[in-house]
Amino acid sequence: MIPERRTDLADKENIRDYAIGVFDSGMGGLTAVKELNRILPNENIIYFGDTARIPYGSRSRETILRYATEDVAFLKQHKIKMIIAACGTVSSVALDTPIVTDMPFTGVIAPAIEAACKATKNKRIGLIGTPATIKSGSYIHAIANTHPEVMVVPQACPLFVHLVENGYTDFNNPVTRLVAEEYLTPVKNENVDVLILGCTHYPVIADLIGDIMGKDVVLVSAGAEAAKFTKQHLDELELLSDRNEKGKNTYYVSDSTEMFEENAVNFLHENVHGDVFRSDF
């Protein structure tokens, strides 16, 4: 159950204009921001990318929880009405250890599972993610609880985040293609018809992933599905902004703002529009 902030009508009118908070271990969460900008153009978004401590996927569970708690605390310094953990690794940990209890919150796992299970026809779903996400078994356990008839084929892809963060994203990049083929071939051989991109970095190389998996395999972006869920949930709570003007994006990172702006193009498919600040929490 996602917690709902209790408000009266007057409070809701104020909270509607609050921002949506999004955080990730680095820049992958920008794929969720990109979808939010598309489907909720009037909303303000505050994004925090913990670029100084990426990747989370190779950290211990205790460290991931500490980092995530600090990320949430940073976002709560601002006026926000919902938080998205746009990080598959954090989302896998947050399933059994809630990190937000006082306002609407979502990770990327539940929305991605719902979309994938709706899309599969042969009940065979592939899953790629960071080592921490795959090791947690979070997707597999959640699917088993809600759709026990569905088989999940998991595959850890430890190098994908590094490749994407360092700009190795071109469709014809031989290094990225070689790594992707090694990771994806065993999954493809299991005859899956849906592949969950369980890390928000992965949609940046979705064209390459799709090429290797084949045109009959549906790719489900965890970040994009979390954005769609956010729209639905805020609508149900009557907390969508009713402003007429376009919303504003504000970005915070824990490392270089210049590197962030340079690499963000790969995730947003456009230059960064909005202020970018460096923050040490």
Rounded to 5°, angle at Cα 24 from 66 and 112: 110
Q: Which pLDDT belongs to residue 260?
A: 92
Q: Verify that 94 and 228 share a domain, yes or no.
A: yes
Q: Domain with 151 in it: what CATH number?
A: 3.40.50.1860
62: left (phi over 0), alpha (psi -120 to 50) or beta: alpha
Q: Which pLDDT belongs to residue 126?
A: 98
Could you tell me the residue range of the domain that residue 211 belongs to?
110-222
Indicate yes or no: pTM above 0.85: yes
Q: Verify that 116 and 254 share a domain, yes or no.
A: no
Q: Verify that 95 and 125 share a domain, yes or no.
A: no
In eight-state DSSP terms, residue 238 is: T
The rounded average pLDDT for each run of 10 residues, N- to C-terminus, in the chain (281 residues) is 43 85 93 95 97 88 94 96 94 85 94 97 96 90 94 96 89 97 98 95 95 97 95 96 93 95 88 92 71
**Phi, psi at residue 36, to the nearest 5°?**
-60, -45
Specify if 76 maps to a domain.
yes
Q: Verify that 213 and 230 share a domain, yes or no.
A: no
Q: Verify that 57 and 195 share a domain, yes or no.
A: no
Q: Verify that 103 and 235 share a domain, yes or no.
A: yes
End-of-domain residue from the set 190, 206, 222: 222
Q: Verify that 102 and 36 share a domain, yes or no.
A: yes
Active site residues: 87, 199
Structure tokens at 177: 């293609």
Specify if 2 maps to a domain.
no
Q: Verify that 193 and 258 share a domain, yes or no.
A: no
Q: For the chain, what is the domain count?
A: 2
Q: Verify that 199 and 264 share a domain, yes or no.
A: no
